Structure 1
């Protein structure tokens, strides 16, 4: 335990640490009476030698011994009257004063002994001064073990002159005495050093034990657990503050080492534990078996839970640990509740409902009871979230859950299944009519207006119903109700539908179609057909639209209207669209240079993050010039994230890719699209051709075509099937291109090459395919 600067080690002696240094100085400076008696005795001896020898020089020595000894004694008296513990700084102040006094006193003793012995043959005087000096030196060695250097200087200054004076006598016995005294002083020095080492070791151990005890006490009283330690006789050995605080105990129990019975009785009296719990705790302390137990607080309002741990000690006795686990148990209860209940509506969640329905169905297996499961989905709920925000949507869900609770009987069970879906289990119904009646009431009640944050909100509800049957499982019941709900929503929403067996067949057919679709995409079993777009001025094919075809080995030719929705639901439309884009670009490279290819992009495909990268890659791999690629998008692609859509279209346009608005007239048909987005072509839907022989539809079509043309865009009319339709749309010259069966149906890649060769005068087609019109494909 040395505090030494490593840089100065070896340059000066090592100093003990401050606390030890102060203790060593304190051991020297608190001996008033021994020092006072020693000083008086030595002064008397000095006076006696002066009287006995008649040497006048000894009287000043005696006076100095008396004066210095008295001053030192009273200096120690002043030290002992201090009330504070000696600090390191104070010790540094007191040690030099003590050391200087000791050195001066030893020097006077040495002069006195030398004057008494040297040149004087009075044996009595010699004996007096030798005995007094040796005795005082021995006492100093015992007193100054704290600083061994002091006793070494004392021997040198006081006893050195005395031994030197004895050696000057030409007498054997005097010389022998001087030698013996030298050996005695060496032994005295060794004893002093041993005492110093013992004292330092004892102090060091004491400091370490005190520090360890302090650390243990700090840790004990700052630990989160309450702790009690009982000896083998059942008396209290240790109790930390945390235990006394938790049990509301007095300090008196700790001070008088109360028994385990007293401690437990005090815990019961403070209402911290019940009497029954106290008996169990006392039994565990007595039996000293390692185990755990949990007690609940008798005060219900406080609702505290305590965890007790008992551990036997070697040699008898027990250690008791107490932890307040109230917050942990409350948190566990809340986590358990959140795991089984919806936090927003406080209704049972999907997991809870699934377990409860399984239990109820198991109970009903032995009885002929009929129950119904109603799957409820809210209509137009997404619009509320999008227009009023999610907080209003949350309030609406809470209002819906309250209405559902009001309509149900106590034995019925309702849960929030997720999002805007709820499920109701209606027990003990007499017939499906009871379930239909409840479903009708749910649809009507949930369709009534809601007042949410001063907003009047109207939504609807659709319900799918599945009736229980013998042996049906909860999963099957939920699946059947979900299929019935899907059918109810397909029938127009705001209604209910019972599950029927053929619905399962439809779902199974859909599932098989999905599997086949994945396999077809992986094996590239699809084929691209192309339908020409004819330029009405030149009469030539200007563009061919790529259309997907799938010749299923069992189903035969599958329509794109069946493929695309399924691919979108499965998330395969992006991969499928990527394949179509690359295949179409590679096929276009086989056509005449003036012919472009048009590829339809679904909204999902268009809004993927890497749509630009996919278009660039398809162009680079195929080598197709960007201006020969035309991307057709629908209005639904423009509705989502307008700014991002505008940015993507602008970047595609900067690449040279042309953008076409497909099926214009079937959606909102907002004219702002034509102005706000970088479009090069508008394709007017075939629905505009219905009743075109009358003035109104024809005027509308020509107005849209003229507006688009004035904005610098090409205009295409789809679905041309007769010469009359062709003549009507091309009369005013606003329509630039036409597409339809009048010119050609969608044909395979080989056939479209023949048509292109014929259209561009390369060589005649294998078979004559001339549109039935006044115009022809040149």
Structure 2
């Protein structure tokens, strides 16, 4: 690319030299007059007609050359190619060659033929004058120089040599350096001009490029001299400060340009002094880079490049977008996007800064709050309204920040509060009561009134050696205790909570291991016909016998399993053992297994059940699956699809604890049910409360109208049993009156014995075998 540019440049210079040959016609005309008069003088002196013809020939050559020049003038030189330039150069050289050759022949004729001193002197003078014209006018073409010298000088040298005079021959030889020097001078002039033109052209191009680059760069630029006055200001600099192009900034101080910017509204007046202070530091070399604020929205970043005593170059750019982006990134990095409260990482930094400034023996506290039953809000009103509630709570919390409380949202519905200076527990109690009272109350969310309460856990320690992570753990333990005791309140951390937490963590590890090794046990609670004479099946209930603690209540370890996310593994263990045990039961006895909310949200449960049935070759009709309303809350559509598929395989589907939820009646129509298990709350105080019996009969009637079997749970007394039988309120009964949960061996013995005994005797034996101990 560079080579092509150089070639084009050389062609342009060559054309300019050729043009110069055609332009100087006055000297050409003067030369023609001088030559013709010279030939006429020689003719008049020696009366030799040769010179008359030579003068006429020189006139004709000049006339033809002049016509050729007029033709050249009419051409468009901008379209010339190198071949066009060479063509017209050769035409010019041809004319010059003919004219020079005529002059050379004149000189040779004078030396050889005429041998007249006047003719010789005049002819030699003309040749020498021609040499001067070569240097002064005809240097533009190297070919032209060579041709003129050869055409004019060779005949003269030949004439001197032909005189057969040693002195004349010596003169001919001595003329050779003159001619060579003339040629060198002409070429030197041409080369000098070429270099000058080249340098000027390049300088012009460089200046043009510099000007283009300077005025099209995205940065503003001020070039200052050693006295700090402006030498150059590019277009962008003027645009930044809204300075008109007709205002000359050269020689003015940089402060004058800033003053124009302030006058044009580009610089806020309150920032003017500060900007000039920054610029002075840049010019003096105290700073190399400086961020300058023009007004409330605009920022410029200046950088200085010093040129020694020659001054400094100030380059600046608009960094407003970058500053705003950095602010947004910092906002995103430090603040929660939903509530605009400090996030976890920024909260820790703020707390660390405050702790570093704390006084010795100063107390600090950290509180963890979350919204009671927030999951219910998300489930019933949707996550969008849940987010609105979180924002509303954050707004109330933000009003507390004036009390030197650092507030953060760590995620979900968890809010963390840091109190950097607390005198004692009494002051902390007053503050926390105020916080809870501020947050508790009614919130308007999407046109609905929601009463919200919160639970909190607080830990307070001296500032010496505090570890925020440890303090947070203690506050979490206190929060857990507050929720365990009763929601809608807060609890201060105590050391006993740490011990309870450690025990709880250890129990989690041991529970995980028990589930992994499939060492959980099963008990079975039988389901009888209302007469108590036959066992129809049993509900499988998981049991955990801890090596050190002994039997652990399901009310303790099942919530732990749900919290740990292993409830699905526990269900799988129960299904495996229950199906394996049921195979050995007599007749068509069924086994019933409870499914959790986790099970009903994952289609994996289908393959778990079918694999167990295939492995033990148990008929699907002998497996009953129990679900509760809480198990349907996560995703009713997915749960219904799973249950429909299991029902289609032949399994029985029962809804457990019926009547305790708000939506139980709607589930009777939506879900593919076979049975309804009526909760024990309908049976409790049945003999004492007539309304309970009416309610029970109504529920049973509704279920049977829908074609569902009825199982009554929690039957414990003879009076309850009699009323249920007399009112025909049960197809099956499950309760302590007939049988408590028992190991598989005891259940198998009972079921086998009842299946063989007679009706009357079986009822009596059953009563004896299964009567619970009241001790």
TM-score, with length taken from structure 1: 0.71
CA deviation after TM superposition for structure 1 residue 571, in Å: 2.2
Matched residue, 2:673: 679
Task: Spell out, residue by residue over 1:627-684, the C-alpha distance to the aligned partner (whole angstroms, 9 max, x if none).
Answer: 5554332212323333333333334445555543232222235333122222344333
Q: Does 2:766 match 1:771? A: yes
Describe how 1:725-764 pairs up with structure 2 within 5 A.
Answer: 736-741=731-736, 744-749=739-744
Matched residue, 1:607: 601
Task: Spell out, residue by residue over 1:122-159, the C-alpha distance to the aligned partner (whole angstroms, 9 max, x if none).
Answer: 566998998899888888862135xx7xx59x959x97
CA deviation after TM superposition for structure 1 residue 424, in Å: 5.9
Q: 2 CA distance for matches of 1:504 and 1:444?
A: 28
Matched residue, 1:668: 662
Assess if the C-alpha contact under 8 Å between 1:26 and 1:91 holds in 2. Answer: no
Q: Does 2:636 match 1:636? A: no
The equivalent position to 1:25 in structure 2, one of 7, 10, 15, is 15
Aligned to 2:681, what secondary structure does the other structure show? helix
Assess if the C-alpha contact under 8 Å between 2:355 and 2:420 holds in 1. Answer: no
Assess if the C-alpha contact under 8 Å between 1:378 and 1:420 holds in 2. Answer: yes
Task: Spell out, residue by residue over 1:391-449, the C-alpha distance to the aligned partner (whole angstroms, 9 max, x if none).
Answer: 7666655655565676x696552624445555666798888666556555555554454
- Are the structure 2 counterparts of residues 68 and 348 from structure 1 closer, same or farther at C-alpha, using a change threshold of 3 Å? same
- Are the structure 2 counterparts of residues 525 and 394 from structure 1 closer, same or farther at C-alpha, using a change threshold of 3 Å? closer
Describe how 1:355-366 pairs up with structure 2 within 5 A.
Answer: 366=360
Matched residue, 1:144: 141
- Are the structure 2 counterparts of residues 192 and 612 from structure 1 closer, same or farther at C-alpha, using a change threshold of 3 Å? farther
Describe how 1:481-520 pairs up with structure 2 within 5 A.
Answer: 481-497=475-491, 499=493, 502-520=496-514
Matched residue, 1:567: 561
Matched residue, 2:452: 459
CA deviation after TM superposition for structure 1 residue 105, in Å: 3.8
Q: 2 CA distance for matches of 1:495 and 1:422?
A: 15
Aligned to 1:771, what secondary structure does the other structure show? helix
Matched residue, 1:67: 63
Q: 2 CA distance for matches of 1:371 and 1:16?
A: 79
- Are the structure 2 counterparts of residues 269 and 732 from structure 1 closer, same or farther at C-alpha, using a change threshold of 3 Å? closer
Describe how 1:152-231 pairs up with structure 2 within 5 A.
Answer: 217-223=211-217, 225-228=219-222
Q: 1 CA distance for matches of 2:364 and 2:109?
A: 134
Assess if the C-alpha contact under 8 Å between 2:603 and 2:642 holds in 1. Answer: no
Matched residue, 1:553: 547
CA deviation after TM superposition for structure 1 residue 208, in Å: 6.6
CA deviation after TM superposition for structure 1 residue 324, in Å: 5.4
Q: 2 CA distance for matches of 1:590 and 1:58?
A: 145
TM-score, with length taken from structure 2: 0.71
Describe how 1:424-443 pairs up with structure 2 within 5 A.
Answer: 443=436
Q: 1 CA distance for matches of 2:453 and 2:174?
A: 121
Describe how 1:503-542 pairs up with structure 2 within 5 A.
Answer: 503-533=497-527
Describe how 1:577-726 pairs up with structure 2 within 5 A.
Answer: 577-585=571-579, 594=588, 597-608=591-602, 610-612=604-606, 614-615=608-609, 629-654=623-648, 658-668=652-662, 670-692=664-686, 697-698=692-693, 700-701=695-696, 703-705=698-700, 707-709=702-704, 711-719=706-714
Task: Spell out, residue by residue over 1:743-772, the C-alpha distance to the aligned partner (whole angstroms, 9 max, x if none).
Answer: 65444455556666667779xxxxx99522
Greater Cα offset, 334-343 or 108-117: 108-117
The equivalent position to 1:413 in structure 2, one of 405, 411, 419, is 405
CA deviation after TM superposition for structure 1 residue 564, in Å: 1.1
Describe how 1:296-375 pairs up with structure 2 within 5 A.
Answer: 301-302=295-296, 307-310=301-304, 320-322=314-316, 328=322, 332=326, 366=360
Aligned residue pair count: 739
Q: 2 CA distance for matches of 1:181 and 1:593?
A: 144
Aligned to 2:767, what secondary structure does the other structure show? coil
CA deviation after TM superposition for structure 1 residue 527, in Å: 2.7
Unaligned runs of 5+ residues in structure 2 are: 758-762
- Are the structure 2 counterparts of residues 72 and 44 from structure 1 closer, same or farther at C-alpha, using a change threshold of 3 Å? farther
Q: 2 CA distance for matches of 1:553 and 1:611?
A: 30
Q: 2 CA distance for matches of 1:90 and 1:593?
A: 114
Q: 2 CA distance for matches of 1:401 and 1:616?
A: 49
Q: 1 CA distance for matches of 2:746 and 2:189?
A: 118
CA deviation after TM superposition for structure 1 residue 518, in Å: 3.0
Greater Cα offset, 373-382 or 549-558: 373-382
Assess if the C-alpha contact under 8 Å between 2:334 and 2:345 holds in 1. Answer: yes
Task: Spell out, residue by residue over 1:580-604, the C-alpha distance to the aligned partner (whole angstroms, 9 max, x if none).
Answer: 4445455556667955544322112
CA deviation after TM superposition for structure 1 residue 561, in Å: 1.6
Q: 2 CA distance for matches of 1:179 and 1:430?
A: 121
Unaligned runs of 5+ residues in structure 1 are: 5-14, 763-767
CA deviation after TM superposition for structure 1 residue 515, in Å: 3.1
